[in-house]
Amino acid sequence: AQKVTQAQTEISVVEKEDVTLDCVYETRDTTYYLFWYKQPPSGELVFLIRRNSFDEQNEISGRYSWNFQKSTSSFNFTITASQVVDSAVYFCALSEAIRGAQKLVFGQGTRLTINP
Amino acid sequence: DTAVSQTPKYLVTQMGNDKSIKCEQNLGHDTMYWYKQDSKKFLKIMFSYNNKELIINETVPNRFSPKSPDKAHLNLHINSLELGDSAVYFCASSQRVAGYVGKTQYFGPGTRLLVL
């Protein structure tokens, strides 16, 4: 069965520090997709990134970067020079395609608090 | 314009009542989903419809009945509400998943249901 583990329940850092959120997944599929979503205190779920299992290149978007390592089944997320607005719960998710639809299996989430 | 919208945003009701949550997307997607987020922030898929056809039905009590009148709408009706149904319910939509190609799911703002 698909499984996603985010071992860090809560992380608290001071503004401008770099922080890495860990995500480890389990799947028997050879083709799959991984996602990160952000849930700020206002409650909505905001899409951050989608990565397929064949693309192991790291991705950078501004202060955000993602490190995908198939050998260790990990898809970690780093925020550089963190800001208070980055405070949120972050979810890693793994996809399973089912007849035209797609089931997302979410990790437990990591609550990130950036202190001024 | 809001891409995925849900009504109502908040729902407070008594145990035993029946209630509905509505979801609409204007992204032109074929596939829609319902997820439940419990008090510990854990997100789990409930249902998925692809162009009005039920594709995913995770072990959800049959008090929950989704209905998709057209591919832009997916409603959730809950009968005989129980205390344990208190949660945030998220609607999402995506393009149809073809083969193993993953598609991004875009989430609505959520409906916070409180059963007293």
Strands A10-14 and A110-115: parallel
Note the pLDDT tens digit of each residue in B30-78.
Answer: 999 999 999 999 999 999 988 888 888 887 899 999 999 999 999 999 9
**According to the model, what pLDDT value does residue A31 have?**
86
Q: Give the pLDDT band (50/70/90) at residue B1.
A: low
Q: How many CB pairs below 8 Å do chains A and B form together?
A: 85
Distance of residue B56 Cα from the nearest chain A Cα, in angstroms? 7
Percent helix, strand, coil in chain B (nearest 5)? 5, 55, 45
Distance of residue B87 Cα from the nearest chain A Cα, in angstroms? 12
Judged by CB atoms closer than 8 Å, whether chains meet at B100 and A32 is answered as yes
Q: Which residue has the tokens 């208070």?
A: A84
For chain A, list residues with pLDDT below 50: none
| pLDDT surpasses 90 at B101 | no
Rg (CA), chain B: 14
Of residues B109, B116, B114, B115, the one with CA closest to residue B35: B109
A-chain residues within 8 Å CB-CB of B56? 98, 101, 103
Q: Which residues of A, range 42-61, sit inside 8 Å of B by Cβ?
A: 43-45, 47, 50, 52
**According to the model, what pLDDT value does residue A40 have?**
96
Q: Give the pLDDT band (50/70/90) at residue B102.
A: confident
Would you state the structure tokens that stand for residue A54, as one six-digit string? Answer: 């064949």
Which chain B residue's Cα is nearest to A89? B41
**According to the model, what pLDDT value does residue A55 have?**
83
Mean pLDDT of B94-109: 85
| pLDDT surpasses 70 at B100 | no
Q: Compute the Cα dihedral for B40, A51, A38, A81 and give only its sign.
A: positive
Per-residue DSSP letter, A34: E
**According to the model, what pLDDT value does residue A54 have?**
87
Per-residue DSSP letter, A71: G
Which chain A residue's Cα is nearest to B6? A44
- A23: buried, middle or exposed (CB in 10 Å: 19+, 13-18, 0-12)? buried
Distance of residue A80 Cα from the nearest chain B Cα, in angstroms? 25
Distance of residue A53 Cα from the nearest chain B Cα, in angstroms? 10
* Best residue of B31, B36, B37, B46 to probe chain A, by most A CBs closer than 10 Å: B37
Q: Which residues of A, range 25-44, sit inside 8 Å of B by Cβ?
A: 29, 31-33, 35, 37, 39, 43-44
Judged by CB atoms closer than 8 Å, whether chains meet at A106 and B100 is answered as no
Q: Which residue has the tokens 């260790």?
A: A72
